[in-house]
Amino acid sequence: MRVRVATALSLTAVTVLALPACSAETSKDKPSTVSSARARKPADTGQDGAPLASAALQKRLLNESDLGSGYLRKQERPSQHDDVTVLGCPALNELGSDAATGGSLAFPRQAKAAFTYTDGSNSEISEELYSNTAQQLSDGIGQIFDAMTGCATYQVVSGSARIHVASQAMAAPKLGDEQWSQLLTFSAGGQDTVVKQTAIRDGSVLLIVSGSPALVDRHLGKALTKATATS
Beta carbons of 205 and 224 less than 8 angstroms apart: no
Residues composing the chain: 231
- Per DSSP, 177 falls in state S
What pLDDT does residue 32 have? 32
**pLDDT band at residue 127 using 50, 70 and 90 as cut-offs:** very high
Domain ranges of the chain: 6-227
Does 21 score more than 90 pLDDT? no
Map residue 192 onto helix, strand or coil: strand
Higher pLDDT among residues 85 and 102, named by residue = 85
**47-58 confidence digits (pLDDT tens):** 447 899 999 999
Entry pTM: 0.80
User: Which segment of 22-31, 73-82, 107-116, 168-177 scores lowest on mean pLDDT?
Assistant: 22-31
Taking the C-alpha atoms of 98, 100, 104 and 106 in order, what is their torsion angle to the nearest 10 degrees? 30
Give bridge partners of residue 182 from the DSSP assignment.
169, 197
Check pLDDT > 70 for residue 77. no
- Could you tell me which residues come within 8 angstroms of residue 70 by beta carbon, excluding any fewer than 6 positions away? 117, 118, 119
According to the model, what pLDDT value does residue 16 have?
44
CATH of 6-227, one of 3.40.1360.10, 3.10.105.10, 3.50.50.60, 3.40.1000.70: 3.40.1000.70
Q: Where are the alpha helices (DSSP H) in the chain?
A: 6-9, 54-59, 64-67, 90-95, 134-149, 213-227
pLDDT score recorded for residue 82:
57
pLDDT band at 40 (very low <50, low <70, confident <90, very high): very low
Residue 56, classified by CB atoms within 10 Å of its CB into exposed (0-12), middle (13-18) or buried (19+), is middle
User: 166, 195 in Cβ contact below 8 A?
Assistant: no
Closest by Cα among 198, 1, 206, 208 to 95: 1
What pLDDT is attached to residue 78?
Answer: 59
CA 197, CA 209: separation in Å to the nearest integer?
6
Distance between the two ends of the chain, CA-based, in angstroms?
31
Residue 121 to residues 16, 128, 144, 196, 219, Cα–Cα distance (Å): 15, 23, 29, 16, 17
Q: What is the pLDDT of residue 129?
A: 97
200-209, pLDDT tens digit by residue? 999 999 999 9
Decide: residue 126, CB within 10 A, 0-12 exposed, 13-18 middle, 19+ buried: buried
* CA–CA gap between residue 183 and residue 30 (Å, rounded): 9
